[in-house]
Structure 1
């Protein structure tokens, strides 16, 4: 498990370790964040009765976490993502379009060829995902989004916009903080992901395993309990680890990276506790 490696170095380090090692390599700052963001998006889409493939997503931040989030959203079927960094919208005409990680963004996102600033990316967007810095977004900018939209403002300790300032066209709000509803926290991901990978002696943790983990996290919330303040489970929910581990192990088997079946492994024991 890798932690606290800045972009773009983290992409090189992780890639080289995967090439050289026969065990899973997982940069939590990238992939743990990505899995939990996708889980929150799946929960939001369920609440809004929307297909995630039809959502327009605007993202602020194209570093390690932002790029990993965009990658998993594409893998999960999101078709319209517009990324923005300090230089503006990421598009093929930028001078840095051939550099890592922007070359991936150019190839895989922005199908409408949006240019300009965050304002342009937010026009009629259904979801805003912030992985940047504090107080970079204004209420007026979010008013450009579609009705019943969602804002995931995840800069820590202070989000891109304080939840109290978010306008009424936004229906779902998530942050990285525990003092607001819908906390997007990596701890929902990595214990179950590693448990599942270890149970089947997986060679790697691939994108399908991460997508499976996200859907497993989202599935913990029953349909009748979904609401604007509960689209992602609490970090104290004791069903999450077992659900994620089972889904990850199955995805590893399905994609041919499991080196043993789960039979004969020690069943996971998780202490009982709060399901809130």
Structure 2
């Protein structure tokens, strides 16, 4: 009888140890598969960015020139100062690097990144999707967002890409709450191209905005690059004045919806 009990204990011990070994092996296999899947996803995103680098950029990726990256990062870091605790939309968010800055550095309550390019939105979801950020495929003039639902809209280098018949400012006014803020930028007197369908100077930019919003302040932004549009200015964001308005590479306007 004692011999039988000893045999049973040995068998039970073997079964238990065998099962534990199988569980551990399966856990290791799952971890390996997860690593492989994440690696494939990351490689896919990098390949997409490389293929589309002439039309899309990620300012956090060293694929792009440092001065150009800093130029784009600078304006989002500027806008992040307005985000704390707010519900924000980054309209024409592209690859989402700016939406992530608004969400994390800006400490927004929520950030909705919107872009008409579904592949850019897929990239944004993979690479720049913190918990308080969501992404949506939609056009800037028809966002599908509820009326009076946002505290802040950020829209950089968007308005010049749309024909004059498309009124994105009207849509921005619709989705913003009363007493909320719009931060919008555009190049200063850049020529028309297949991508730039309208061009602005200080006066025309101001005129279009004031159809819907009260302008609180306009800034010059310059990249510090050798581009002719930089006008030999140092990199930075400075208050626009009558004397320096022609030296801006881009304008950034901070605007208020009063009603």
Task: Judging by fraction of residues, say which structure has more strand.
Answer: 2
Q: Which has the higher contact order (CA 8 A, sep 6+)?
A: 1
Q: TM-score, normalised by structure 2?
A: 0.44
Which protein is bigger by CA-based radius of gyration?
2
